[in-house]
Amino acid sequence: MIHFVRGLLTEVGTGWVVVDLGGIGLKLAVPASTTEKLPEIGKTVLLLTELQVKQDGISLYGFLTEDELNLFHSLTSVNGVGPRVALGIMSGAPAREIISMICSGDANSLQRLPGVGKKIAERLVVELREKLRDKAVPAGPARTDHAELIEGLMALGYNREEASRALEGALKALPKGAKENADELMASALRLLGRQEVCPFGRETSK
């Protein structure tokens, strides 16, 4: 089994990359969450891999992090979710955000992800909720709408990955036992992003 590949990144396309392994170009299918964080073409890249052999061919999938690889395994274990659907889901949001949606039973947010209808969203929650619970970001005593906060950051020009990481950092910075507040979380996330903006929730933020 191929556990990982390391080589020069030579090509990047929509949903795929090519890695040069000493003169052999290996093409891997990847989610957008991976392509967004790749180094420049010509630089060395290391991708964790999943090899699948079927009657119609051999497919190799690549991921930058263990979180992405583990989520891919979990998603493809659900009835009706094949590798292509799993990659589509993972291209719609960062791995930790998808896990949080599943563990919180947020089927509505899951349905906004590529390739996810009502039935698939319900299956993801029912089949994976308990399996992924230990990987979810712990919820505070009074949880705010994190999806709305992320969308607010994206409206300011950040991509989903940047917004999710900033929100995760803001949540970790909360004092133990403190209640979540949308305005304060937004302000904290913007400080982590190193930018001063007017908060979409009605209060001006500053560094």
Q: Based on the fold, state whether residues 141 and 169 are members of the same structural domain.
A: yes
Residue range of the domain that includes 126: 66-135
**What mean pLDDT is reported for the chain?**
82
Q: Based on the fold, state whether residues 118 and 147 are members of the same structural domain.
A: no
pLDDT of residue 140: 41
- The enclosing domain of 58 has a CATH number of 2.40.50.140
Domain boundary among 63, 93, 109: 63
Domain boundary among 45, 63, 81: 63
Q: Based on the fold, state whether residues 54 and 113 are members of the same structural domain.
A: no
pLDDT of residue 189: 86
Q: Based on the fold, state whether residues 9 and 34 are members of the same structural domain.
A: yes
The whole-angstrom separation of Cα 47 and Cα 38 is 10
* Total domains, the chain: 3
pLDDT of residue 184: 82
Which pTM value belongs to this model? Answer: 0.62
